Structure 1
Amino acid sequence: MIGKVLGGRYEILSRLGGGGMAVVYRAKDHLLGRVVAVKVLREQDDQDDDFVSRFHREARAVASLSHPNVVNIYDVGQDGDIHYIVMECVHGETLKEYIQRRGPLPPDEAVAIGVQILSALAHAHENGIVHRDIKPQNILIGKHGEVKVTDFGIARAKTANTITHTGSMIGSVHYLSPEQARGGVADEKSDLYSFGVVLYEMLTGQVPFTGDSPISVALKHLQAEFVPPRRLRPEIPQSLENVVRRALAKNPRHRYASAEAMLEDLKTALLPERQNEPVWEPPIDEEDLEETKVLPIVGGVVEAVPTRSDDAPGGSGEGADEADGAARAEAAKGPNRHQRVMRALGWTLAIFIGLVFGLLGFNYAMGLLIVPDVTVPRVEGMHVNLAKKKLEEAGLSADVVPRSSNEVERDVVIRQEPSAGMVVKKGRTVTLYVSQGPEKVEIPDVRGMPRSQAEQLLSAFLSRTVDEEYSDEVPPGHVIRQEPAPGDRVVPQETRVRLVVSKGRETIAMPSLAGLTLAEAEATLQKHNLKLGSVREERSYWPKGTVFRQYPYNAGDNVQPGASVDVWVSGGLKDDAVEVVEEVLVLPEGGKADVTVQVQDARGVPLTVVSRTVSRPETVEVPLILAPHADGVIQVYQNGRLVNRQTVRYRDVIESDKT
């Protein structure tokens, strides 16, 4: 992977580390010119739809978070078979490495780190995200002490069903909450338990539960009691130990109500007035103490059969008593049986009517409470308005979440949650991720950069044009300005970028002023945006009134515009100078030729004295100035080829004049 460029943008520089499902690399973002961390799904998992889905779920979960203690997610993508997430690169070490290097942390430092972790969790929980894998390995400590919570690889919205995906529990067993250990639902309070383990480890240098196997550790989370931190480190305030005790409560109901509540408690744990507070113990669960209650039996009616006393009127004597008693007993027997039968029938009818009305009422109530199931229709690829309408027809509502997309047209549904075909309750909200068109990025500021580096950073844009101009401030080959301007948000695939690159300071090739009159020299300087400086006159080997020297720039030198040039004008020939005119015969080849005649004499520079087209043989006059130290040389060129060269000697001319 080292050296590979993902998405035409992220160059892999080195490996940073790896986890169960991904490898993290250090990379260079050539578009924005910054170092990032790139998490790449392991090759053995990139064909597993469950792993790929979980991998991308991480990006969607964390991308919704914006907090200084949460590692930022910049981008998510796929390059061939490689699935990757681009994240903020934090320079530092994990909290696990920090604890291993430092040992147990001082209480104030443990609290300072814990406050930042809880602040990140509180923000995540407020946004419906449960981390579900809080452990020191997933907490980064920057070089300046900043804390960043990372690796939401198994994070999930709190509407998720369970903590398992493939039949196995996810998360490091030493930091697993009891409800996760038994395969239950992981919620915000599970994160608080895991954080309690992290706080315990920061304070004591060890985890609360260890064992020979993951199963034995998980069982201890469910059943065993941990060694109180103060027994290992007596200098820990009781108030701070109480925070750990409450976070590690077996029953989630006994833990803090929220990360925010725990954060507020942790912030005040080191106050002097709290350090000696009573040991926190979990309250006795009332549900476990509830006694079985005996319900009273709804009884029947006890009837008292009236009896006759000896004092009762209407009879006398034993025989009469027997006869009368028998008659009255028979008379009494009939009415009592009838009453009992009627009462029984009444009770039966009342119970039946009660049952009928109870059943009707129950069915009515259940009709109000039970919500029918509906199947989620497929709306991916539809225009958002049509998708909303289709969901409404199915008895569902829509929640639109805008997302940038380079592949899906604007206002078209990219993805839906729950997915098509799932059976949900009527009235359920379906989240629609709707394309806002290609992602816009900020134009990087390439001003002052070398041209090659700037073009590399802008390689993702539609096209680049480069113009050049002179600059007194920007070095040659570096960018002076750019269009669009730095910071403008544009779509790279649709944007043409124009760069203006410096050619350095503007310079002018210094013209030769030799042989010109003063007026001609001044006009030549003005034509080249130069100025005439001082003028001096002295005798020379040049004809009177002509320029024979210029300073400080010689002919051909690069000169800044507006520079001043001093000149020397000849006041006449020196006494030892001789001025002669030589006749040179020119014979054009082929009947016609471009003829140039150059001389070099006491004036010290090559001079062109003839330059014209000649169509027939002719003699041209060539002026020369000779001196004791300088003879004259004449060279004749035809069509650029040297055809004649002759020397005129000063001594020969002097001797000829004497004769």
Structure 2
Amino acid sequence: MKLILKYCFIFLLAFSIAGTIGFYSIRLFTQSADEIVLPQLTGKNIIYVLETLTNMGLNAKLYGTRYDDAFPRYAVISQDPQPGSTIKKGRDVIIYISKGAKENIIPDLRQIPLEQAMILLEKNEFKKGHVSFTYSVKTKNKCVIAHYPEPFSTALKGSSCDLLVSRGINPVAVIMPDITRLRLEKASAVIENLHLDISQIISNVDPHQDWGIILSSTPHAGSHVTENTPITLFVNALEKGRHMSPDKLNSLILLTHSLSPGILKQHVRVETDMFGPIINLYNEYMKPGEDINILVPPAIKTRVNIFIDQTLEKTIIIDPWKEDIDAGDSILWESSPLQFYQPISPDWVTN
């Protein structure tokens, strides 16, 4: 028994001596190792970081990757220990690597209207890039023909997408006709037959020409024009620089006058000078209380006289160059019988 205890004591003593020697050896080794100040690794490329840590005698440990808009792909996002920390050679440095900004799939914007394409780009976190326009037979007007990046490709969030948008079918060019010395309504019909649009009608003054006559136009006669070319007509009038809405050329004004009540029918005659010479629009008997309804084009300066039983009941003057500020409709002037205007016989036509 004493022998066993003796051997146990010797074993424990030897183990204690060996442990003490090992502890002091490790302590001596660690105290003698070089201490290093860890540099800034954040934002640096992973290849540069690995080379730097290896040259410094440190071990790089990659703990993960993630998307990050602030750092390019393969750049170090974070490090542990932090920059400026003191670390001994042979220690580990933990780093996280950036996968770059997150990418989204470019939606297919082809053949859809430009406004809808803009909504889809914003929804997918992309921005509108350069927008170009061209004519196309296959793509409708104001629809996207193509775009870059291409459909279903990947691109960084927030990047721009360039669009090519259709203007529709390339319009056929025609020769601008000579419409000078034509009345406005006749000139408008000529332009409409060529599928052209009037953009402006402006008044000018030429005392040697009749009112309502085209004095000039832009583009000038003989020019090549298309349906997209803005056309301006200069029309003879009393004042210069007045503007008339082109919409008046395709509209009508309803003039209404009610007959007074009574027993006997009344003779009604309506005359006008809208076509140049004075003509009768209506010359019949009507029942008392009935309405006289007349449709008049607002683009022509017109005087309408209403005679009841050979007596001038009302004169209505339409001036196409005057606009109602509030409603935008032509102002109608209604006057009592004019003293200087002589009623004419039912069948008399004069200039």
Fold equivalence (TM over 0.5):
no
Q: What TM-score does the superposition give when structure 1 sets the normalisation length?
A: 0.23
Which structure exhibits the higher relative contact order, with contacts defined as CA atoms closer than 8 Å and separated by 6 or more residues? 2
Larger radius of gyration: 1
Q: In proportion to residue count, which structure has more helix?
A: 1
Q: What TM-score does the superposition give when structure 2 sets the normalisation length?
A: 0.38
Q: In proportion to residue count, which structure has more strand?
A: 2
